[in-house]
Chains A and B, each alone.
Chain A
């Protein structure tokens, strides 16, 4: 095999895992980060001028809905992973609420095979906790692990039965898998479509009270404490839930949690005119919650940023609020929204944000990613933190356009996304990198499979 070399010049290298933040060059050979290039290698290396850009580990998103198999009119593996690349993500974890659900190894294998053909980035798969995500019978967790899943979750259908959840955690512990949970007590959220509060009362929409999240977060903390299993709380929305997790972590309970770009930037006030772009589950909450979520992110209670990228076709969202599906797309706007709401307003430094989108995320699903250490996979994201751009349907890679930021101007632009040393996304034509478009890389699919 011919050697390939990459020389990223003069960028601001931010590698939080290694406490590195300096203007320097970054090198890779054959898809691996190296200390330096020989003169011979430099001669044929692909050169990227990163002057004025941040060069960081490729971003990682552990919560993505790719809709394949089953709902490919919303998104598919090819378009979803291309959107991820355009958003600076080099590794993502897809959720198992597909049709059929990812509750057996054959679906895992099918997704991996498709990813190998069509994904420009590393696609990791999560499996279900229970068969068909029904919350009753456990999925074959060991077989799923053998097939390569990095987590188990019933995603949108939170396991309600505490006995089932306990056994799931025991199996997950045995197989060294994280259990990701969408924390929602269904008995408190029948028919709920938005946060229960002033706005829902005014609009007559059925409310989703914060306590429904708090109860399951508490349940998960208690079950994690008794089983020792790692429970990862998906998309936390309530300040009260942040406090529960904070206290559990103080006691050493093995729990982690994620925050979405939309919950840290938007509130239930956005729903004010029945705008279905703001219908999501769990719902946007109050300004007070939003502040407490950010505080939780900054003090480490909430470990990471994850998008919950949830594509829906335009005609599905174009209806009355009750009948519109929950969710929004987020891969292509995640970094910019976080920059706008955390970094540009000086709540958070760039290093902290990047750590929560790279090595911290890798730690949760135990993948060897998220750093620019010598010898690491050359998964690298280059972005201009200040460049303003307009979110538009024309430039979006996702099949769906259900983003509240559509048409908005955001500051923070992904310039290049590099997977295993190859440029898989570039926002401009590159003279020195002929492969500077979306293309298929190897290996795709689950590297550990």
Chain B
């Protein structure tokens, strides 16, 4: 793959708007960062003396930690504002919060918010890069890009024609959406599996296959992405019970034989052992869950690095680690 591509975006708000070349540029940048990660404590100074602000207005642990790890590996300082969108709107508006961060001389905003479009909104207000770490059910681009990077590595850089099955609550999932757009852009076929209220037929508009039959769907898959079942969905009657869900859609040890022998399993975490995935399956060598975590740092380093380089008029592809 060529590493001469450049990145021409201030922000990473979603995968929907990314071209295949842009995604591949991110992968190309992530590759040397991943290599760096294999050296204990090694850093690359592309964000030296820079400040990354984590604006997390919805609870997150692992995404925030992964962004922190990425920032540290780029020698950036990071600061975190935790809160909830509702407490924010009672007082300071989202616009004012964004402008304040910019006035604090922050260099990059990493934000999570419960409302779809919140990162898009902030990105239009500030001149500094905004990296979307999840906005409602809209997008979670770095999670999808790390998933796709994991697949990209596994399938030797070519996802064209690969059959990717995503299982779970698609309707409420920003991870699913970001994965759908990125996978489609990379040429993969996508099948969504889950209970009807959580996998609306409307997704067919996007050239995606809908299935409510786990067995037939995963038997065709080159990779299966299992999404976490959010327990609050039960209260909304989207699933009658966790048991009902598990019975139909969990990937259990017995069901592993439904998959092709070479098919792999991804999960964005945190996993609910015994709900959507068996402990045995989660721990099997076919799952790439821990690989995803490492790739998550590399992809986030790439995103921070490229967006930051772009606003400073540099081609970030020329300043990657050797």
Contacts and interface: CB of A to CB of B under 8 A. Distances in A.
Interface stretch (B63-71, B136-144, B158-166, B253-261): B136-144
A203 interface: yes
Interface stretch (B1-9, B29-37, B113-121, B314-322): B113-121
A322 B114 CA distance: 9
Interface stretch (A42-50, A52-60, A312-320): A312-320
Interface in B93-136: 93-95, 113-118, 120-121, 135-136
Interface in A195-222: 196-198, 201-206
A320 B113 contact: yes
Interface in B202-231: 202-203, 205-206
B94 A319 contact: yes
Contacts of A315: 93
B132 to A, nearest CB: 12
A201 B174 CA distance: 11
A251 interface: no
Given A319-B121, A321-B116, A202 B93 contact: no
B117 A203 contact: yes
Contacts of A204: 116, 135-139, 174, 177
A206 B200 CA distance: 12
Interface in A337-384: none
Interface in A249-285: 273-274
Contact of B116 (A196, A198, A205): A205
A315 B96 CA distance: 11
Contact of B121 (A201, A203, A206, A274): A274
B16 interface: yes
Most interface-central of B115, B138, B203 (chain A CB within 10 A) = B115
A202 B16 contact: yes
B138 A323 contact: no
B38 interface: no
A323 B203 contact: no
A322 B136 contact: yes
A323 B120 contact: no
Given A318-B95, A323-B115, A201 B202 contact: yes
Interface residues of B, number: 27
A34 to B, nearest CB: 56
Given A203-B138, A204-B138, A320 B202 contact: no
A117 B200 CA distance: 54
Nearest to B174: A204
B85 interface: yes
A177 to B, nearest CB: 38
A321 B203 CA distance: 22
B89 A319 contact: yes
A198 B94 contact: no
Interface in B56-92: 85, 89
Contacts of B117: 203, 205, 274, 320-322
A318 B171 CA distance: 27
Interface residues of A, number: 18
Contacts of B174: 204
A318 B298 CA distance: 35
Nearest to A200: B202
A196 B137 CA distance: 14
B137 A318 contact: no
Contact of B85 (A197, A205, A273, A323): A323
A323 to B, nearest CB: 5
A381 B192 CA distance: 57
Contact of A274 (B89, B94, B116, B206): B116
Contacts of B93: 315, 318-319
Most chain A CB within 10 A, of B95, B117, B136, is at B117
A195 to B, nearest CB: 11
A276 to B, nearest CB: 9
Contacts of A274: 116-117, 120-121
A198 B205 contact: yes
A321 to B, nearest CB: 5
A319 B205 CA distance: 29
Nearest to B88: A323
A203 B95 contact: no
A323 B117 CA distance: 11
A319 B120 contact: no
Contacts of A197: 202
B206 A202 contact: yes
Contacts of A196: 202
Interface string B136-155: 11110000000000000000
Nearest to B140: A204
A323 B206 contact: no
B116 A203 contact: yes
Most A CB within 10 A of own CB, among B93, B94, B116, B205: B116
Contacts of B113: 320
A196 B120 CA distance: 21
A320 B139 contact: no
A322 to B, nearest CB: 4
Contacts of A206: 137
Interface string A297-334: 00000000000000000010011111100000000000
B115 A322 contact: yes
**Residue from A197, A202, A205, A318 having most chain B Cβ neighbours under 10 A:** A202
A323 B136 contact: no
B271 to A, nearest CB: 22
A289 to B, nearest CB: 15
A320 B16 CA distance: 19
A273 B14 CA distance: 12
A13 to B, nearest CB: 49
A336 to B, nearest CB: 29
B138 A198 contact: no
Contact of B200 (A201, A273, A320): A201
Contacts of A320: 85, 94, 113, 115-118, 121
26 contacts: A198-B205, A201-B171, A201-B203, A201-B206, A202-B177, A203-B116, A203-B117, A203-B138, A204-B135, A204-B136, A204-B139, A204-B174, A204-B177, A205-B117, A205-B136, A318-B93, A318-B95, A319-B89, A319-B121, A320-B113, A320-B115, A320-B116, A320-B118, A320-B121, A322-B115, A322-B116
In the A-B complex, list the 5 residue pairs whose CB atoms are closest, starting with the nearest.
A274-B117, A204-B137, A204-B138, A322-B115, A320-B115
Given A201-B205, A319-B93, A321-B116, 9 more contacts: A198-B202, A198-B206, A201-B171, A201-B202, A204-B174, A274-B117, A320-B115, A322-B115, A323-B85
Interface of A: 196-198, 201-206, 273-274, 315, 318-323
